[in-house]
């Protein structure tokens, strides 16, 4: 993992402001984490410590929640996060093969980011576009009815 | 805008209803004739699906193009473009509907917009190439009422989806929206409302099927300074999108039902727990909440009464177990979503220790219409113990993927063959999975069971939230069981031993079997271990997690035995049991497979038949997908 | 009251009783693993997650956990039907399939609740033993050894660390098969706000959390002819050690313990009680000093003064309340006072060079292992107390030294640091330090003899106890708390300016040192703590001298060496300072 970077002052202030906005209530932890991740893209240790301090709860509890929910991440995502739908509808229409192909093409595993920071790879369960199964999303864009051989093309299409 | 009182609401409904009339009329009677400005139609509405599925196929661009074309033609005063929720027929999306002649255009592309406007809206001529073609008769069908996909459906919970603009509260009000709430506040005691819900026979649509009226009654009976109504919108079944479609297409029905529930149990706070992965549903809910607040339909002194009720949205963060109500409550409290033992039930001690009533989205969507149409009407639909309808997300190897709603008691055969149009690509039907990771796989012999909560459970599956995945002869049932178990293992909260370790062990055994390393003893262990997990796990997730394994062993025992004894996977899905080779008769030596092989396992000179080195082959199937001559043989 | 049927017994129990407790009424012992409820304290963890206590209730579709299922009228319960036994055994086998099963060399061997359970369930093989196991790195801190490969995820440690101690160094991390009780960001305990109170160790049913063992160091020192090795034994050790040798809880074994230590090869055996009397002299005079200033109108004086004997409590306020470090007494703990005096006064007297003298403290505590390594307690790198071993480690060493404890004769502590008063004897229980201090404070302040020497107001096991003592017309308000969550409550009030006590006693462990993490395992039995507490008060009552300032050896020590309390040599050797150790 990349060396932990110190958060910029304005990020610290913004995270504190998020906590304040939710009244610094421990019950709002998940809402706070959502907003903090929206702000920064991921939830590094330092940010979780700030949140723990503001909400008056142990850092272990924040960390326990972050590691429980798959939506939260402690590693920076790529500029174009890829998600492969592994919902049943996509699965029976071959999404696993798409996943394998993406892993092979980008040479990364699920949960990882390419060294140039362009792509990161995750799985999700059902985007709800089952009519288009199997489905892959890159950023906000949904690609449907894909076959392994299409992968290289759609990845090449993505421009920074 | 000033907040409404009861009288204002009635007036507003009349006004809004008149505006929606063009749609209501066309829904009631379809004409073979086309409407069009040139043939004298005064007012035309174009409905375009704005659900997640169609949006993924660029429906937003269609809307833009339609609007641009209308603008360019200078007919904006006579033609409206309305973005609606899901029409359900996702397989054929994006869908554009023309009102009042009710023409149903399928698989519309942004570049088709101009033609629809010019030909149909103005000229009154249907765009034939965009009409649905009945696969049986090969005839075009221009309106949904005559499509097999819709014929056997009964849209109760989905009554407004694909019909109204979900971002416009007045369209909801026009469809008798908030009438049930107004009537309850004005004319009914909470007990009376609960009695109607009880009489209707409505049962929870989230999975377990607990009677909704009874649940409300429990929550009402506990005294506390605070009570909560929670909408469980954490739809987590892989391959299910019923609740999301309702929230995207008809968010007010959920809000109204929550307000009614709050009135009944004595709560004044509502929470919607929704997956963060549903941005569009969240967006529409937010708009709906704001509008309802603005109109005085939620907030302080609802409709001028002394009833206060407000709603907040809480986000899930990607944990399937949070669909379980105690886990959901802990998650809303900012904790790890771990279930706790029931009792105490949330009705006694829920969110922050206060009495809490948790209902799922679809359950709530049924509530307002039950109250406006009456318990008898609702109870007349369905079977003896399961009343009303059920929404299913029909997907997998089926021709008509989509969101459907049928009366309880409809058979699987009707759903799969009549509504679903049969198995895709003419393959042989093998199984249908219902109930997601908690359900089971049903076979040919179950196709004529009238489906309801109890018959599905008796058949070894369950209703679940409504995922329905069709599988064909190419699906390996051991792999399917493994797929679901992988899901359960990764989604288990890890709290109790049977689910945390037991399911992991089940998965390990299944993995062994799919690799040809299983033993007959493993099959027995699978059964006994699965039984213990069902018997001892803490929550509903754990207690039902072995169902996919048990039901596939019961129904497809031969296939398991084949994997174990003959090391054979008849569906050719278990990689470790396959051998790839090249048919020299068919191979043209083009080299496409060789270039695509990631393992350098293919040898051969150009224009001469190639061969696969079985020791290097990783069975990825790449060669097969690259070969243009169908020369790759898999056994 | 309701009637239910458990196996063949009809039993009348209060509604709301759990099946587990109802079964005990008719002597049906349902096995448990994750459940713990230390009666009389707030130590309770009941996640109903291990699923070993499942029973069959007629009419229920699934088996239910006895520990968390309430009795209902007419309930019919089967605790050992074939279905129950089969399920229970399978669950145990699953646990074993994710466990190293290296019992023979495990520090918890023969004291392990899982081992006992597996024996009881007659598990003879592990059907899933080829499955994946969560292998985890073993971590050794100065006080606690964490070997999470052995963790069975009962989460008692998490409960105790969060609910009882409010420290939250440990918490559930991850999800699914890989879930573990861990620290934030996977840091070692030393890099967290862990106070080393060790209560996680006290409740761990298996060998995942154990004490850092110093037995090898001790044996090496004892057998080294160049070293003089002396022992000091804490007050709470003597009435708990016997439990390790089958004696009833609360049996005082002071004499045998001294004999055993001598037989093991200690050159001198002294008493930490002597250090406790010293502590009262210093802390008592510090109370008086602050009180006098306060009464003289000094607005800067920090009140309440708080006791500082408990090393986990010291760690706690250094971590969590760095802004309030002026409030606790600067007096060192009895063990450290003893060490400081032993390595100066006594060593000089005996002519033993500091580097040849090894001071070993025998403590009911694991935080002491960390405390004696603190840099401020070292002179040129040589610690005042070299290391600390727990009551349990002492028992293990006695066994290993082939000593038959039961038949040992009694011996006396060596002098001069072996003489102590009843005040010191009660240091090991919550309320004891307060009572001991008040005996001295009252008499020194008023110049009168205390009318009732037993201060019942501060005794007991309630989490927070208050009393007002009449000091010649001045109402001295005192408060006694145990467990760190109660301490946090007090400190939060202090921070908010809502506290109006003059003296507060804090002990980190439930019950004080009698419930220390180094004591023989209580295995969830609350009567054990009560018996130890009774023994402490009995020892006090039986002493001729019951006030620290009356201890003749203490008086001599001050005359010969220390001078006045709080000043000069006493200040230099017996007081310390605190620093901000909060995790930033």
Interface of A with C (CB under 8 A): 45, 48-49, 52, 57-64, 67-68, 70
Provide the domain count of chain C: 2
pLDDT computed for residue A1 by the predictor: 38
In this structure, which topology does domain B176-378 adopt according to CATH?
Rossmann fold (3.40.50)
* CATH number of the domain residue C551 falls in: 3.40.950.10
Please indicate whether residue C318 is annotated as part of the active site.
Answer: no
Q: Where in chain B is the domain with CATH 3.10.20.600?
A: 389-472
Peptide bond between residue B100 and the one before it cis (omega within 30 degrees of 0): yes
Q: Among A84-88, B14-18, C289-293, which range has the highest average pLDDT?
A: C289-293
Q: Cβ–Cβ of C49/B496 closer than 8 Å?
A: yes
**Among B137-146, C403-412, C479-488, the least confident range:** B137-146
Residue C258, exposed/middle/buried by CB under 10 A (0-12, 13-18, 19+)? buried
Q: Give C258→chain B minimum CA distance, Å.
A: 46
| Residue A59 covered by a domain | yes
Same domain flag for A54 and A87: no
Please indicate whether residue C564 is annotated as part of the active site.
Answer: no
Residue B635, exposed/middle/buried by CB under 10 A (0-12, 13-18, 19+)? exposed
* Facing B504 at nearest CB: one of C49, C95, C177: C177
DSSP A123-143: EES--S-GGG-S-EEETTEEE
What is the domain extent for residue C17?
A: 2-120
Q: Which residues 6+ apart lie within 8 Å of B563 measured at CB?
A: B478, B513, B514, B516, B518, B569, B574, B577
- Residue B96 burial (CB count, 10 A): 28
Instruction: Read off the DSSP letter of residue C409.
Output: P
pLDDT, chain C, mean: 95
Q: Where in chain B is the domain with CATH 3.30.70.20?
A: 578-634
User: Best mutation site among A32, A65, A130, A149 for testing chain B: the one with the most B CBs within 10 Å?
Assistant: A130
| Residue A54 covered by a domain | yes
Range A116-130 average pLDDT: 84
CA angle C212, C215, C219 (to 5 degrees): 155
* Cβ–Cβ < 8 Å for C356, C185: no
Same domain flag for A28 and A59: yes
Give the whole-angstrom CA distance, residue B248 versus residue B282.
8
Tell me which chain B residues have a C-beta less than 8 angstroms from the C-beta of A63: none
Q: Under DSSP, is residue C70 helix (H, G, I), strand (E, B) or coil? A: strand
What is the domain extent for residue A25?
A: 9-68
| Residue C469 covered by a domain | yes
Same domain flag for A62 and A91: no
Choosing from C53, C86, C120, the residue where a domain stops is C120
Kindly give the residue spans of alpha helices, DSSP state H, lying in B223-339: 242-249, 251-265, 279-294, 325-332
Characterize the bridge pairing of strands B402-407 and B389-396: antiparallel
Same domain flag for A89 and A141: yes
Q: Which residues 6+ apart lie within 8 Å of C562 measured at CB?
A: C341, C345, C568, C569, C570, C573, C574
Q: Name the band, by pLDDT with cuts 50, 70 and 90, for residue B438.
A: confident
* Cβ–Cβ < 8 Å for B112, B89: no
Give pLDDT tens digits for C387-440.
999 999 999 999 999 999 999 999 999 988 888 999 999 999 999 999 999 999
Cα separation values, B298 from B33, B357, B372, Å? 43, 18, 19
Give the whole-angstrom CA distance, residue B259 versus residue B288.
13
How many A×C Cβ pairs under 8 Å? Answer: 48
Instruction: Read off the DSSP letter of residue C483.
Output: S
> Token pair of A112, please?
């990882």
Please indicate whether residue C58 is annotated as part of the active site.
Answer: no
Q: Where in chain B is the domain with CATH 1.20.1440.230?
A: 477-566
Tell me which chain C residues have a C-beta less than 8 angstroms from the C-beta of A52: 184
Same domain flag for A86 and A150: yes
CATH architecture, range B578-634: 2-Layer Sandwich (3.30)
* Facing A131 at nearest CB: one of B401, B436, B480: B401
Range B552-568 average pLDDT: 95
Q: Which residue has the tokens 């999306």?
A: B93
Give the whole-angstrom CA distance, residue C334 versus residue A60.
33
In this structure, which topology does domain B16-145 adopt according to CATH?
Glutaredoxin (3.40.30)
Instruction: Read off the DSSP letter of residue B564.
Output: I
Give pLDDT tens digits for C564-576.
999 999 999 999 9
Same domain flag for A64 and A87: no
pLDDT computed for residue B31 by the predictor: 56
- The CATH number corresponding to B477-566 among 3.30.360.10, 1.10.1040.10, 1.10.540.10, 1.20.1440.230 equals 1.20.1440.230
Q: Name the band, by pLDDT with cuts 50, 70 and 90, for residue A2.
A: very low
Range C281-291 average pLDDT: 95
Range B39-45 average pLDDT: 86
| Residue C103 covered by a domain | yes
Tell me which chain C residues have a C-beta less than 8 angstroms from the C-beta of A60: 168-171, 173, 182-184, 192
**Backbone phi, psi, residue C345, to 5°:** -50, -55
Range B514-539 average pLDDT: 95
Same domain flag for A127 and A99: yes
Checking if the pLDDT of C332 tops 50, the result is: yes
Give pLDDT tens digits for B399-413.
998 899 999 999 999
- Residue in chain C closest to B343 (alpha carbons) equals C69
Checking if the pLDDT of B465 tops 90, the result is: no
Give the whole-angstrom CA distance, residue C428 versus residue C365.
10
**B positions 43-82 inside 8 Å of A (CB):** 51-53, 55-57
Please indicate whether residue C443 is annotated as part of the active site.
Answer: no
CA angle C555, C561, C565 (to 5 degrees): 60
DSSP B363-411: HHHHHHHHHHH-HHHHHTSB-SSSBSEEEEEEEESBSS-EEEEEETT-B
- Within its chain, how far is the Cα of A25 from the centroid? 25
Interface confidence (ipTM) of the complex:
0.93
Checking if the pLDDT of C15 tops 80, the result is: yes
Alpha carbon distance, N-terminus to C-terminus of chain A: 23
pLDDT, chain B, mean: 92
Checking if the pLDDT of C311 tops 70, the result is: yes
Q: Which chains touch C (3 or more CB pairs under 8 A)?
A: A, B
Q: Cβ–Cβ of C172/A57 closer than 8 Å?
A: no
pLDDT computed for residue B28 by the predictor: 53
Q: Where in chain B is the domain with CATH 3.40.30.10?
A: 16-145
Checking if the pLDDT of B18 tops 50, the result is: yes
| Residue C414 covered by a domain | no
Give pLDDT tens digits for B323-363.
999 999 999 999 999 999 988 999 999 999 999 999 999 99
Give the whole-angstrom CA distance, residue C558 versus residue B209.
79
Tell me which chain B residues have a C-beta less than 8 angstroms from the C-beta of C50: 496-497
Choosing from C99, C120, C141, the residue where a domain stops is C120
**Among B226-230, B596-600, C65-69, C548-552, the least confident range:** B596-600
Of B39, B134, B608, the C-alpha closest to B400 is B134
- Within its chain, how far is the Cα of B469 from the centroid? 11
pLDDT computed for residue B1 by the predictor: 60
Q: Name the band, by pLDDT with cuts 50, 70 and 90, for residue B27.
A: low
**C positions 161-180 inside 8 Å of A (CB):** 162, 167-175
Q: Give the 3-state DSSP-derived string for C508-560, with helices as H, strands as E and coil as C.
A: CCCCHHHHCCCCCCCCCCHHHHHHHHHHHHHHHHHCCCCCHHHCHHHHHHHHH
Q: Which H helix or E strand runs over A31?
A: helix A29-40
Q: Helix axis angle, B477-491 relative to B547-555, nearest 10°?
A: 170
Same domain flag for A53 and A97: no
Same domain flag for A141 and A87: yes
Q: Cβ–Cβ of A60/C173 closer than 8 Å?
A: yes
User: Best mutation site among C166, C185, C491 for testing chain A: the one with the most A CBs within 10 Å?
Assistant: C185
> Token pair of C460, please?
């007991």
**Among A116-120, C28-32, C261-265, C321-325, the least confident range:** A116-120
Q: Cβ–Cβ of C49/B528 closer than 8 Å?
A: no
Q: Cβ–Cβ of A29/B393 closer than 8 Å?
A: no
Checking if the pLDDT of A5 tops 70, the result is: no
| Residue C377 covered by a domain | no
Task: Give the full edge-to-edge strand order of the sheet including B389-396.
Answer: B402-407, B389-396, B467-472, B429-434, B440-442
% residues pLDDT > 90 (chain C): 92
Give pLDDT tens digits for A76-112.
888 999 999 888 888 888 898 899 999 989 999 998 8
Range C262-286 average pLDDT: 96
Q: Name the band, by pLDDT with cuts 50, 70 and 90, for residue B195.
A: very high
Same domain flag for A123 and A87: yes
* Facing A34 at nearest CB: one of B276, B319, B320: B276
Checking if the pLDDT of C486 tops 90, the result is: yes
Q: Cβ–Cβ of C169/A58 closer than 8 Å?
A: yes
Of A59, B339, A120, the C-alpha closest to C47 is B339
> Token pair of B535, please?
């018997």
Checking if the pLDDT of B100 tops 50, the result is: yes
Query: Is CATH 3.40.80.10 correct for B389-472?
Result: no
Alpha carbon distance, N-terminus to C-terminus of chain B: 70
- Residue C225 burial (CB count, 10 A): 5
* Cβ–Cβ < 8 Å for A133, A97: no
Range A54-70 average pLDDT: 96
- Within its chain, how far is the Cα of C237 from the centroid? 10
Q: Which residue has the tokens 């790198």?
A: C381
**Among A150-154, B21-25, C288-292, the least confident range:** B21-25
Tell me which chain A residues have a C-beta less than 8 angstroms from the C-beta of B393: 89, 130
Cα separation values, C46 from B336, C170, C298, Å? 17, 17, 50
Range B448-458 average pLDDT: 91
% residues pLDDT > 90 (chain B): 74
Q: Name the band, by pLDDT with cuts 50, 70 and 90, for residue B30.
A: low
Give the whole-angstrom CA distance, residue B474 versus residue B326.
39
Give pLDDT tens digits for C90-129.
999 999 999 999 999 999 999 999 999 999 999 998 988 7
Q: Which chains touch A (3 or more CB pairs under 8 A)?
A: B, C
Choosing from C94, C120, C146, the residue where a domain stops is C120
The active-site residue out of C150, C343, C368, C369 is C368
Provide the domain count of chain A: 2
Same domain flag for A58 and A95: no
Peptide bond between residue B394 and the one before it cis (omega within 30 degrees of 0): no
């Amino acid at each position: 993992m990349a060396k932990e970077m110190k958060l910029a002052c304005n990020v610290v202030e913004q995270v504190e402001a998020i906590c304040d906005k939710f009244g610094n209530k421990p019950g709002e932890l998940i809402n706070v984490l959502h907003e903090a991740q929206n702000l920064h893209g991921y939830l590094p240790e330092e940010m979780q410590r700030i949140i723990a301090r503001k909400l008056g709860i142990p850092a272990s509890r924040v960390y326990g929640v972050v590691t429980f929910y798959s939506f939260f991440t402690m590693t920076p995502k790529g500029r174009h996060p890829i998600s492969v739908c592994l919902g049943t509808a996509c699965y029976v229409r071959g999404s696993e093969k798409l996943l394998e192909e993406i892993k092979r093409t980008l040479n990364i595993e699920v949960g990882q980011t390419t060294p140039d920071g362009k792509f990161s790879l995750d799985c999700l369960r059902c985007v709800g576009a089952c009519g288009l199964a199997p489905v892959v999303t890159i950023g906000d864009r949904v690609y449907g009815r894909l076959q392994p051989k299409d992968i290289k093309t759609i990845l090449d299409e993505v421009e920074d | 805008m000033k907040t409404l009182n009861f009288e204002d609401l009635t007036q507003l409904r009349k006004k809004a209803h008149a505006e929606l009339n063009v749609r209501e009329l066309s829904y009631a009677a379809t004409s073979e004739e086309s409407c069009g400005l040139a043939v004298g139609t005064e007012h035309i509405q174009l409905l375009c699906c704005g659900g997640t599925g169609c949006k993924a196929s660029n429906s937003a661009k269609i809307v833009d193009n339609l609007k641009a074309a209308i603008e360019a033609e200078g007919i904006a005063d006579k033609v409206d473009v309305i973005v609606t929720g899901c029409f359900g027929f996702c397989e054929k999306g994006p869908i554009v509907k023309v009102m009042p002649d009710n023409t149903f255009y399928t698989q519309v592309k942004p570049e088709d917009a101009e033609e629809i406007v010019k030909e149909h809206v103005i000229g009154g001529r249907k765009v034939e190439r965009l009409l649905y073609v009945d696969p049986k008769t090969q005839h075009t069908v221009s309106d949904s009422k005559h499509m097999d996909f819709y014929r056997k459906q009964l849209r109760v919970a989905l009554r407004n989806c694909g019909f109204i603009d979900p971002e416009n509260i007045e369209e909801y009000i026009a469809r008798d929206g908030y009438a049930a709430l107004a009537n309850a506040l004005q004319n009914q005691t909470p007990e009376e409302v609960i009695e109607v819900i009880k009489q209707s026979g409505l049962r929870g649509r989230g999975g377990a099927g607990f009677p909704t009226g009874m649940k409300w009654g429990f929550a009402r009976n506990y005294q506390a300074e605070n009570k909560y109504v929670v909408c469980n919108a954490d739809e987590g079944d892989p391959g299910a999108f019923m609740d999301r479609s309702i929230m995207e297409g008809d968010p007010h029905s959920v809000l109204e039902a929550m307000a009614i529930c709050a009135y009944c149990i004595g709560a004044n706070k509502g929470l919607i727990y929704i997956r963060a992965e549903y941005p569009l549903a969240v967006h529409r809910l937010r708009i709906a909440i704001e509008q309802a607040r603005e109109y005085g339909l939620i907030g302080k002194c609802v409709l001028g009464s002394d009833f206060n009720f407000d709603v907040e949205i809480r986000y899930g963060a990607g944990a399937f177990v949070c669909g379980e109500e105690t886990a959901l409550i802990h998650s809303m409290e900012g904790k790890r979503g771990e279930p706790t033992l029931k009792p105490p039930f949330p009705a006694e001690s829920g969110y922050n220790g206060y009495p809490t009533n948790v209902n799922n989205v679809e359950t709530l969507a049924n509530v307002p219409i039950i109250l406006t149409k009456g318990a008898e009407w609702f109870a007349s639909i369905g079977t003896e113990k399961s009343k009303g309808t059920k929404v299913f997300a029909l997907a997998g190897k089926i021709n008509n993927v989509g969101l459907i709603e049928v009366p309880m008691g409809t058979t699987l055969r009707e759903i799969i063959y009549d509504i679903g149009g049969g198995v895709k690509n003419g393959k042989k039907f093998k199984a249908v999975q219902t109930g997601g990771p908690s359900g089971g796989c049903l076979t040919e012999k179950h196709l004529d069971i009238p489906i309801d909560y109890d018959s599905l459970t008796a058949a070894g599956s369950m209703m679940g939230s409504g995922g329905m995945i069709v599988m064909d002869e190419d699906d390996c049932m051991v792999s399917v069981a493994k797929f679901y178990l992988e899901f359960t293992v990764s989604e288990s909260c890890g709290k109790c031993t049977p689910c945390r370790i037991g399911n992991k062990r089940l998965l390990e055994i299944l993995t062994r079997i799919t690799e040809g390393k299983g033993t007959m003893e493993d099959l027995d262990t699978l059964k006994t271990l699965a039984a213990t997990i069902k018997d001892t796990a803490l929550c509903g997730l754990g207690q039902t997690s072995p169902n996919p394994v048990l039901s596939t062993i019961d129904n497809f025992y031969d296939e398991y035995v084949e994997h174990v004894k003959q090391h054979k996977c008849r569906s050719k899905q278990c990689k470790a049991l396959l051998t790839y080779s090249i048919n020299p008769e068919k191979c043209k030596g083009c080299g496409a497979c060789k270039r695509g092989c990631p393992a350098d396992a293919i040898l051969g000179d150009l224009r001469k038949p190639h061969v696969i080195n079985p020791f290097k082959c990783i069975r990825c199937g790449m060669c097969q997908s690259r070969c243009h001559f169908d020369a790759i043989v898999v056994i | 009251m309701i009637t239910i049927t458990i196996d063949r017994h009809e039993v009348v129990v209060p509604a709301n009783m759990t099946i587990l407790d109802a079964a005990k009424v008719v002597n049906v012992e349902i096995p448990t693993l994750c459940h713990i409820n230390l009666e009389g304290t707030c130590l309770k963890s009941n996640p109903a997650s291990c699923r070993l206590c499942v029973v069959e209730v007629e009419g229920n579709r699934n088996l239910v956990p006895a520990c968390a299922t309430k009795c209902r009228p007419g309930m019919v319960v089967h605790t050992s039907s074939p279905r129950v036994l089969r399920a229970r055994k399978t669950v145990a086998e699953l646990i074993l399939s994710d466990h190293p099963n290296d019992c023979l060399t495990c520090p918890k061997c023969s004291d392990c609740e899982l081992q006992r359970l597996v024996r009881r369930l007659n598990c003879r093989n592990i059907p899933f033993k080829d499955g994946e196991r969560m292998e985890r790195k073993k971590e050794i801190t100065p006080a606690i050894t964490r070997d999470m490969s052995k963790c069975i995820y009962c989460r008692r440690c998490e409960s105790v660390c969060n609910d009882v101690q409010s420290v939250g160094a440990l918490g559930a991390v991850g999800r699914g098969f890989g879930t573990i009780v861990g620290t934030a960001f996977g840091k070692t305990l030393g890099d967290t706000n862990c106070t080393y109170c060790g209560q996680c160790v006290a409740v761990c049913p298996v060998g995942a959390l154990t004490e850092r063992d110093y037995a090898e160091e001790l044996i090496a020192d004892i057998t080294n002819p160049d070293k003089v090795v002396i022992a000091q034994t804490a007050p709470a050790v003597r009435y708990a050690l016997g439990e390790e040798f089958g004696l009833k809880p609360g049996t005082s074994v002071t004499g045998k313990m001294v004999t055993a230590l001598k037989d093991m090869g200690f050159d001198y055996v002294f008493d930490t009680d002597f250090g406790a009397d010293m502590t009262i002299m210093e802390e008592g005079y510090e109370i008086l000093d602050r009180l006098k200033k306060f009464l003289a109108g000094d607005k800067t004086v920090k009140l309440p003064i708080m006791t500082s004997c408990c090393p986990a409590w010291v760690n706690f306020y250094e971590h969590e309340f760095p802004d309030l470090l002026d409030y606790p007494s600067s007096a060192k703990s009895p063990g450290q006072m003893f060490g400081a005096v032993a390595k100066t006064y006594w060593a000089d007297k005996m002519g033993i060079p500091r580097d040849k003298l090894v001071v070993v403290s025998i403590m009911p505590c694991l935080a002491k292992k960390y405390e004696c390594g603190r840099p401020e307690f070292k002179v040129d790198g040589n610690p005042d107390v070299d290391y600390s071993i727990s009551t349990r480690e002492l028992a293990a060493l006695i066994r290993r030294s082939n000593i038959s404890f039961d038949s040992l004769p009694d011996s006396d502590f060596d002098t001069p640091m072996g003489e102590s008063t009843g005040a010191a004897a009660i240091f090991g229980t919550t309320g004891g330090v307060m009572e001991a201090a008040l005996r001295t404070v009252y008499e020194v302040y008023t110049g009168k003899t205390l009318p009732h020497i037993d201060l019942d107001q501060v005794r007991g096991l309630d989490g927070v106890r208050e009393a007002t003592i009449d000091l010649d017309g001045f109402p001295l308000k005192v408060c006694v708390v145990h467990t760190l969550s109660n301490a946090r409550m007090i400190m939060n009030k202090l921070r908010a300016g809502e506290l109006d006590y003059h003296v507060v006693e804090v002990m980190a462990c439930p019950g004080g040192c009698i419930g220390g993490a180094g004591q023989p395992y209580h295995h969830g039995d609350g009567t054990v703590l009560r018996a130890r507490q009774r023994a402490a008060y009995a020892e006090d009552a039986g002493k001729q001298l019951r006030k620290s300032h009356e201890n003749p050896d203490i008086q001599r020590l001050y005359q010969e060496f220390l001078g006045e309390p709080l000043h000069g040599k006493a200040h230099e050797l017996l007081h310390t300072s605190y620093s901000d150790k909060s995790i930033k």
